[in-house]
């Protein structure tokens, strides 16, 4: 397909249920219909079934997903369904985004980054240990590994870049930044959004690193995670309250035609915990400014998603938060986007799990216009245009 044609497609939404102890599990049924590529999650509501007299005695909630990963699913299962297709698209010049949404402790960071191997980073000066994909590796490690294994069709990988942004209380931080001051070693360089002449978003101060091998890429990723932890100790357990965006730039030459270059960006986004978002009656009481602040960017994300899901040419409030600016292409723009909604099957988290699923249903209604980012070198372009004129 040329640069001009674009296809409309919906966001694929997956659900992942976190394993929980038997005795504390809400009854739920997950039905995956592989032929139809649709899944249904049914969650029993134990409170309602006990109290038959209540007005809204709804005993089950039903939600549709592209696919549901139950408590036995592996990291590899999730990657094959939600991650690998984005790598394959990126080699075709198509942008991709995977974002993970759900309440704190439902497995968002595990899904994206795998287990934290605390203190496992090699001390400076020692020969670094080999990093590789293990059973517990998350989406990012697997995407990086896949890109460098080059088993993605006939287009030839030319270069790969990575950047890693953390957004905390509406401020962006570069997790791969080196410009720290001596007086504040825990402070990462701050990233600010700027628009360039063509009205495109530029993140000023976000370092972009060219990586030449899977090892080099995984090392940067590890450094970013270490920086995130260091900063966290100064932010009182901010992990569940910040958003992280890991971006991989992929440039390929089109197979058998070195005149055409394909470029794509893949964003992998670990969102802040979604609990308490949009519960306005709580907001009115004196919530800590931090909680209000953090939930504000998720609140803005929700507003963007609601506006997009309603369609029509309404104003989409991307500019209200840094997160929605960064994700503007991924939501309603030029990107193949997938969302993984993580939920807990524990009874006490029923309400949050239902609200995560409700949010996911909204996201599934958004359509993106996806097209390949192709550029031709000038001579080849002139020849192609001459050909087209002849026709």
- Binding-site annotation: residue ranges for ATP: 102-109
Query: Which residue has 């995977």 as its token pair?
Result: 98
36-69 in b/e form (b: 16+ CB < 10 A) is eeebebebbbeeeeeeeeeeeeeeebebebbbbb
Q: Enter the DSSP assignment of 81.
A: I
Interatomic CA distance for residues 222 and 119, integer angstroms? 11
Interatomic CA distance for residues 134 and 372, integer angstroms? 32
CA distances 377 to 182, 248, 254, 266, Å, are 45, 23, 12, 24
For 361, list phi and psi in degrees, rounded to 5. Answer: -65, -35
CA distances 23 to 19, 45, 376, Å, are 12, 16, 60
Q: Are residues 343 and 356 in contact, defined by beta-carbon separation less than 8 angstroms?
A: yes
Q: Are strands 60-65 and 38-44 parallel, antiparallel or unpaired?
A: antiparallel
CA distances 138 to 62, 110, 127, Å, are 28, 6, 24
Q: Are residues 163 and 176 in contact, defined by beta-carbon separation less than 8 angstroms?
A: yes
Interatomic CA distance for residues 38 and 341, integer angstroms? 15
Alpha helices in the chain (DSSP H): 46-50, 75-78, 84-90, 108-113, 139-149, 214-233, 280-284, 289-309, 322-326, 350-363, 378-390
- Binding-site sequence positions: 102-109
């Amino acid at each position: 397909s040329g640069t001009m044609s674009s296809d409309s497609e919906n966001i694929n939404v997956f659900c992942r249920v976190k394993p929980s102890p038997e005795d504390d599990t809400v009854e739920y049924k997950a039905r995956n219909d592989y032929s139809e590529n649709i899944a249904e999650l049914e969650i029993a509501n134990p409170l309602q079934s006990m109290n038959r007299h209540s007005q809204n005695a709804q005993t089950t909630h039903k939600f549709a997903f592209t696919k549901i990963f139950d408590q036995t699913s592996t990291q590899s299962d999730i990657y094959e369904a939600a991650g690998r297709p984005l790598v394959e698209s990126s080699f075709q010049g198509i942008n991709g985004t995977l974002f993970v949404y759900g309440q704190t402790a439902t497995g968002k960071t595990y899904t994206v980054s795998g287990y934290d191997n605390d203190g496992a980073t090699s001390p400076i000066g020692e020969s670094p240990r080999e990093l590789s994909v293990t059973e517990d590796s998350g989406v990012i490690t697997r995407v990086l590994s896949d890109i460098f294994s080059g088993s993605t069709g006939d287009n030839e990988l030319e270069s790969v870049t990575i950047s890693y942004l953390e957004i905390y209380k509406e401020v962006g931080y570069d997790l791969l930044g080196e410009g720290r001051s001596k007086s504040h070693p825990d402070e990462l360089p701050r990233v600010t959004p700027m628009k360039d002449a063509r009205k495109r978003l530029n993140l000023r101060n976000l370092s972009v690193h060219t990586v030449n091998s899977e090892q080099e890429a995984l090392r940067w990723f590890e450094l970013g995670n270490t920086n995130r932890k260091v900063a966290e100790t100064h932010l009182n357990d901010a992990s569940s309250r910040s958003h992280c965006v890991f971006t991989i730039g992929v440039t390929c030459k089109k197979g058998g035609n070195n005149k055409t270059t394909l470029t794509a960006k893949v964003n992998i986004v670990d969102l802040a915990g979604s609990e308490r978002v949009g519960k306005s009656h709580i907001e009115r009481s004196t919530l800590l400014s931090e909680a209000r602040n953090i939930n504000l960017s998720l609140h803005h994300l929700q507003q963007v998603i609601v506006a997009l899901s309603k369609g029509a040419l309404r104003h989409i409030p991307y500019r209200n938060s840094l997160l929605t600016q960064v994700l503007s292409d991924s939501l309603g723009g030029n990107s193949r986007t997938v969302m993984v909604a993580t939920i807990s099957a524990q009874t006490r988290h029923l309400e949050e799990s239902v609200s995560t699923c409700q949010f996911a249903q909204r996201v599934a209604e958004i359509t993106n216009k996806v097209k390949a980012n192709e550029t031709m070198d000038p001579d080849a372009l002139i020849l192609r245009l001459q050909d087209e004129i002849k026709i």
